[in-house]
Structure formats: C-alpha cells, structure tokens
C-alpha cells in the first residue's frame, strides 16, 4: 500500500458526524470542479458577457454538490463490487476509494443515502436556478448527474465497461459549459473552446489513478481501459490525451478563438510529459506511481489557472 493505513479515516478521527459526512465527500478533490467553474466563467467574461457573481457562486455550490454526490455514490458501488476491499496496492488518498466503508466509519446504507441526498439537493437547486437563467441548464444538469451516476452505478457501470474516461471528459466539460451558460443565458461554443484541454487533463487524472487499482479492479470485474489493455498499450493513452489537449489549445489560438498569450497555459503540459515518462517506467509498480499522480494534478490545475488569468487579462 502506498500510504500508511494510519492516514486513512477511522471512527475515532471522525467522531463528529458533520465532519464525518463532509470528509466522506473527499473535499480535497473539489479543486477540479472549482477550476472547471472558473474556466467557464472566465471564458464567458473574455467573450464580453457581463459577470454575475451571485449566479456564479450558486453555480459553483451546485457543481460541488454534484461532485460530492458522485464521489460518495462511487464509494458505495465500489464497496458493493468489492474492489476497494481487496485493493492492497492503493495509493491513499488518490486511489482505492475514501475507505469510509472499509474502515467502518460509515455503513454502506449510510453512504448510499448520503450520496443520493446530495444529488437530489443539487437537482432541486439546479431546477430553481434554471428558472433564472434558462431551461438549457436543466439539460446540462441532467446530463451531468446521469453521467456521474452511471459512471459506477449498476446496472450501467460505465467505467467497468471501458467508458469511464469518456464519462469524466463529458462531466468536466459539462461543468465548464454550465458555468458559461448561467452567465450567458444561452449555449455557445466558447466553453468547448476553453474547456476541452482541461477536461482531457482531468481525464488523465482518472486514467493514471486506475493503474494502482488495476489488479483489484480486474479481480472485481471492473474492466476499465487500464484493465482491458495490455500494460504496454495502456501507458500510451496518457500521452495521447495530454497531446490532444496541447493540439486543441494551439489550434484555438491559431484560429483566433483564444488570445496568443493563452499558449502560456500549455507550459504545464511539460509536467504531463514528465509524468508520461515515469508512467512508462513504473506502470507495473503501483507504489512508484505517486509522483505521476501528483504531476497530473499539478498539470491540470496549473493549466486551468494560467488560462483563467490570461482570459481575464485579455477580456474587453
């Protein structure tokens, strides 16, 4: 196991029920959703849309609720299929689930009820927000919730069918689109232009996280791409996704959809190059993959931050 068991959650550490349930949502990873929302809002501002801070704050809250609900639901269904329980090569807290069920902090039933409660609250909030900004938000929200649920939930279990990467890409691109829509009150190509490289880099985070979980997932019948592909082929997907992110960003700059300074946001992709080289070397050694995961997180968040800064700097 990549990290000491002492760092994992225990009932003693989370005796406060509020903190227990909050920690079960894996809030350390909410930065991915925060960055996606800010990208959408900055993209709208760059294209001349007036910023509405109250609507932006509500949008972020709802997106975080969906992210939290999806995290908890994923833990529940991974507990049902047994993959987290048998995963001895996990790199906590990045892979192997939250460990709240496996370590007896929450029961499976408590986890399921909590996850669905979060999604229901988010859907109600989305319905109310759509009354202010337009019905298109309902479409975005329904797709996001469905994809997040279907990622791990039976009977679809899309990640176990090799479609998890597509789910993550659609989900995080959808956050950028939604954050743009609530500012613009209409659909636009702008959030696709802005958000696709980031969505691909987030997809790479899911992808690399599956390498330490590979043996446990295979034993539990969770046949995602890292399980389905031979190891020497599986490692090729990572640089392909990062490479496509760079190509897309470059094309959008060349075509004038993004300012030339936006190429600064390609610099963090050098971290993806380093991560790809380490993955090639240590793909079969899960304990050595922690730096690859950390580089992947740094690449995606740094890319988003630089692109946000450039768009705000260049906005009319």
246-269 residue pLDDT tens: 999 999 999 999 999 999 999 999
Residue pLDDT, tens place only, 260-312: 999 999 999 999 999 999 999 999 999 999 999 999 999 999 999 999 999 99
Phi, psi dihedral angles at 21 (to 5 degrees): -70, -35
Region 45-61: what's the mean pLDDT? 96
Among residues 245, 238, 247, the alpha carbon closest in space to that of 281 is found at: 238
Is the distance from CB of 49 to CB of 127 less than 8 angstroms?
no
pTM above 0.85, yes or no: yes
Mean pLDDT (the chain) is: 95
Structure tokens at 130: 């759509």
Among 6-15, 19-28, 176-185, the range scoring the smallest mean pLDDT is 6-15
For position 79, what pLDDT does the model report? Answer: 96
Structure tokens at 163: 């479609």
Distances (CA, A) of 96 to 211, 212, 240: 11, 8, 25
Q: Please give the Cα distance from 100 to 187 (Å, whole number).
A: 39
Residue pLDDT, tens place only, 190-201: 999 999 999 999
- pLDDT > 60? residue 53: yes
Region 113-124: what's the mean pLDDT? 97
Is the distance from CB of 95 to CB of 212 less than 8 angstroms?
yes
Q: Please give the Cα distance from 53 to 105 (Å, whole number).
A: 37
Cis peptide before 200 (omega within 30 of 0): no
Residue pLDDT, tens place only, 58-101: 999 999 999 999 999 999 999 999 999 999 999 999 999 999 99
Structure tokens at 251: 């094309």
For position 177, what pLDDT does the model report? Answer: 98
For position 163, what pLDDT does the model report? Answer: 95
Q: What residues contact residue 68 under an 8 Å CB cut-off, 6+ apart?
A: 25, 26, 27, 30, 118
For position 4, what pLDDT does the model report? Answer: 43
- pLDDT > 60? residue 184: yes
For position 1, what pLDDT does the model report? Answer: 40
- pLDDT > 50? residue 242: yes
Residue with tokens 């479609």: 163
- pLDDT > 80? residue 144: yes
Burial 277-310 (b: 16+ CB within 10 A, else e): ebbeebbeebebbbebbebbbebbbbbbebbbeb
* Domain ranges across the chain: 5-314
Q: Is the dihedral of CA 149, 152, 153, 157 positive or negative?
A: positive
For position 3, what pLDDT does the model report? Answer: 43
- pLDDT > 50? residue 2: no
Distances (CA, A) of 192 to 163, 174, 199, 312: 20, 9, 10, 17
Q: Please give the Cα distance from 33 to 26 (Å, whole number).
A: 12
Q: Please give the Cα distance from 122 to 207 (Å, whole number).
A: 27
Q: What is the dihedral of CA 8, 161, 158, 280, to 10 degrees?
A: 50
For position 316, what pLDDT does the model report? Answer: 85
At the topology level, CATH places domain 5-314 in Farnesyl Diphosphate Synthase (1.10.600)
Query: Binning pLDDT at 50, 70 and 90, where does residue 7 land?
Result: confident
The maximal CA–CA distance of the chain, rounded, in angstroms, is 56
């Amino acid at each position: 196991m990549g990290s000491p068991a002492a760092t994992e959650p225990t009932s003693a550490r989370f005796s406060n029920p509020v903190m227990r349930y909050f920690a079960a949502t894996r809030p350390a990873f909410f930065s991915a959703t925060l960055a996606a929302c800010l990208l959408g809002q900055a993209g709208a501002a760059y294209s001349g849309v007036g910023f509405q801070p109250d609507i932006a704050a509500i949008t972020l809250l709802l997106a975080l609720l969906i992210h939290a609900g999806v995290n908890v639901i994923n833990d529940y269904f991974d507990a049902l299929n047994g993959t987290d329980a048998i995963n001895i090569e996990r790199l906590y807290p990045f892979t192997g689930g939250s460990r709240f069920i496996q370590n007896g902090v929450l029961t499976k039933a408590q986890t399921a009820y909590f996850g669905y409660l979060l999604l229901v609250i988010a859907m109600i909030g989305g319905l109310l927000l759509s009354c202010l900004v337009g019905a298109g938000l309902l479409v975005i929200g329904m797709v996001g919730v469905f994809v997040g649920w279907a990622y791990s939930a039976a009977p679809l279990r899309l990640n176990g069918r090799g479609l998890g990467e597509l789910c993550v890409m659609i989900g995080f691109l959808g956050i950028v689109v939604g954050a743009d829509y609530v500012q613009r009150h209409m659909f636009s190509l702008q959030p696709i232009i802005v958000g696709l490289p980031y969505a691909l880099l987030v997809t790479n985070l899911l992808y690399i996280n599956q390498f330490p979980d590979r043996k446990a997932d295979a034993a539990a019948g969770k046949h995602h791409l890292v399980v389905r592909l031979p190891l020497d082929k599986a490692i090729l997907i990572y640089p392909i996704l990062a490479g496509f992110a760079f190509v897309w960003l470059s094309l959008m700059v060349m075509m004038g959809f993004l300012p030339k300074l936006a190429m600064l946001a390609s610099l963090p992709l050098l971290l993806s190059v380093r991560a790809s080289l380490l993955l090639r070397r240590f793909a079969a050694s899960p304990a050595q993959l922690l730096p690859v995961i950390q580089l992947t997180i740094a690449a995606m968040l740094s890319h988003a931050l630089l692109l946000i800064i450039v768009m705000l700097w260049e906005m009319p």
